[in-house]
A and B are shown apart, each in its own frame.
Chain A
């Protein structure tokens, strides 16, 4: 897609059937899986911002397709889940050489001021944000995914006992599509996980990667859930394993005041669904498997299309893959886990240093 103001002006004027003025075009610096562009426009004497999503030039890091991501936003528009409204899908070669879709921008920020500030005076903020996020996850998990046909795109487990194996099989299928080398650790963990899979408390729509950096907050309110590319149908425990930072372990004066168990208890109180810590740990390994697939895909993009690949794909294809492999052998009790600092640093950015 050509994101030059001239091309965007021609395209959007054609699309809206009314003159459009391009005020600003900016690529969002966060996110590694796909490109996100904010395009500020003026039409009919009103300002608005459109969000464009498209794959990276060397292909998305995420194994699921852009079309699936668009599908998720379209379907979620029929639910109570807070999301940005999706506007349309475009693949007409007259306008673009790669497909993209457009959604509205929801005012707010991925950043939550002071959430990562270690000062205990922000504990109350951290707990409030955690509860807000968990309440919104509960809305996702209550979505009637059968009625809204989410199973058209997402693999559907046949019953509660099949949820875990379904995630394992999906990750292995994705690995086969992208792997550049033999990864025997994936075979070992797949077998181990199938042997130890928990039975899901119910089969839910799950968001996938969620939490800090993945949602839009305005003050203490979560106003839009974003980044649906890892959505699945399965065990709600998966979303607690895929959560970034928003169930922080807080201990003050020797007393645990918040943590994953508190988050699960709170989730039970708002959803009626009981998720166990053991199940969350199980899905932590599933998450590492999926990240390793992404790492492999990113590494292959650098290997086969080095002039098109982005620098972040090179990082994802190296350190991220190692961290996942290390985590997987630790899960099986074969070695030590990667150091906690390394895990924390994976989510650190120049904009939000630890």
Chain B
């Protein structure tokens, strides 16, 4: 069970829709739904191809960033819940997967989601500290690092979204 690959099959399915099914659809609702289906089918094909590496890169970036954020919270001592926030990051960073097992996309997504949530909660906490610590160089550095991560992560998502949708006709 190597060939045809899942991607090969999706391409053939898409071709069948384009050649055999789409031209036979007279109803506007059906044509509109089919337009969306074809965009999403293309999106799934490109996700299959790229998402594993994208998520792996994202997880690596978060595993580098979160310890920096944790260090900042620890530098604040036990004030304003900072210690608890540092502990929350530590918990999120604990590996939850078996390294001997193949990583499915869903398991990578789950790990990324846990780490992203820790970042989200940390940023919320940092924003609450802005009034008292906003002018500190260490505060500004950790905020800049988070901002840089956010931009990179969104730009990476664009590597999958753009070829799937842009310039490829009505979505609905």
Contacts and interface: CB of A to CB of B under 8 A. Distances in A.
Contacts of A319: 39, 43, 161, 164-165, 171
Interface string A50-66: 00000000000000000
Given A32-B172, A311-B37, A312-B36, A181 B113 contact: yes
A350 interface: yes
A49 to B, nearest CB: 18
A184 B166 contact: no
B120 interface: yes
B5 to A, nearest CB: 23
Given A184-B150, A311-B36, A349 B157 contact: no
B165 A342 contact: yes
B162 to A, nearest CB: 8
Contacts of B124: 187
Contact of B172 (A183, A184, A312, A342): A312
B29 interface: yes
A29 B31 CA distance: 10
A351 interface: yes
A191 B128 CA distance: 10
B36 A315 contact: yes
A314 B38 CA distance: 12
A329 B29 contact: no
Name, among B29, B39, B151, B167, the residue most crowded by chain A CB atoms within 10 Å (CB to CB): B151
Given A349-B170, A351-B28, A322 B154 contact: yes
B29 A353 contact: no
Given A319-B39, A342-B165, A182 B117 contact: yes
A27 interface: yes
Interface stretch (A72-80, A243-251, A333-341): A333-341
Nearest to A179: B120
Nearest to B172: A349
- The size bracket of the interface on A is 20 to 34
Given A345-B166, A353-B170, A318 B121 contact: no
Nearest to A335: B151
A348 B169 CA distance: 8
Interface string A179-193: 011111101100100
Interface string B145-171: 011011100110110011011110111
B150 A350 contact: no
Interface of chain B: mostly helix, strand, loop or mixed = helix
B134 to A, nearest CB: 10
A222 B161 CA distance: 36
B127 A191 contact: yes
A349 B171 CA distance: 6
Interface residues of B, number: 41
B93 interface: no
B83 interface: no
Nearest to A180: B113
Given A184-B120, A351-B28, A315 B150 contact: no
A334 B130 CA distance: 20
Contacts of A181: 113, 116-117
Contact of A187 (B127, B154, B155, B161): B127
Contacts of B116: 181-182, 184
A326 B165 CA distance: 15
B88 interface: no
Nearest to A182: B120
A325 B154 contact: yes
Contact of A334 (B35, B127, B147, B164): B147
Interface of B: 28-29, 31-33, 35-37, 39-40, 43, 113, 116-121, 123-124, 127, 130, 146-147, 149-151, 154-155, 157-158, 161-162, 164-167, 169-172
Interface of A: 27, 29, 32, 180-185, 187-188, 191, 311-312, 314-315, 318-319, 322, 325-326, 329, 334-335, 339, 341-342, 345-346, 348-351, 353
Given A181-B113, A181-B117, A311-B36, 9 more contacts: A180-B113, A184-B116, A184-B120, A184-B123, A187-B124, A191-B127, A315-B40, A349-B172, A350-B35
List the 10 closest pairs (A to B, CB-CB), nearest first: A182-B120, A182-B116, A182-B117, A29-B29, A348-B170, A322-B161, A311-B36, A319-B165, A325-B154, A350-B170
